[in-house]
Amino acid sequence: MHALSIPTWIIHVSSVIEWMAAIWLIWTYGEVTKNRAWYALSMGMLPALVSAMCACTWHYFDNPKSLEWLVTLQASTTVLGNFTLLIAGWLIWRSAKSARVKTPESQTQTQSSTKLGL
């Protein structure tokens, strides 16, 4: 546990706690808005959380050679997390785009813009 200073530990631990809170808040937002795309973002954040926990675990035990597999797991879950967040972002974009098409206001605006030649 001597591998990191106390301020660095505070940052590591608070980042993990903040990430867990963000996952929960995003999931709750998906429930409130009834938009399942936000669930995807919440689930897509989990690999990054695993990555952070791997880093904290490795540092907690003073970076031993016997736990170097955690570094590989951390790198792998970081890459996986980047892709899952990309997909979740695309799903949110797609749901927002389709929601705009379905609302009567956007249809009225589109019709007005078409009549005006815009």
The residue segments making up the domain with residue 97 are 6-116
- State mean pLDDT over 42-67: 95
| DSSP secondary structure of 18-78 | HHHHHHHHHHHHHHHHT-THHHHHHHHTHHHHHHHHHHHHHHHTT--GGGTHHHHHHHHHH
DSSP 5: -
pLDDT of 4 reads: 87
Q: How far is CA 9 from the centre of its chain?
A: 22
Largest CA distance in the chain: 70
The answer to whether the beta carbons of residues 3 and 63 sit under 8 Å apart is yes
Q: Looking at the predicted structure, is the pLDDT value of residue 1 above 90?
A: no
Does residue 67 lie in a domain region?
yes
Total domains in the fold of the chain: 1
- State mean pLDDT over 63-92: 97
Q: How confident is the model at residue 99 (pLDDT cuts 50, 70, 90)?
A: confident
The pTM assigned to this predicted structure is 0.79
Does residue 1 lie in a domain region?
no
The answer to whether the beta carbons of residues 84 and 47 sit under 8 Å apart is yes
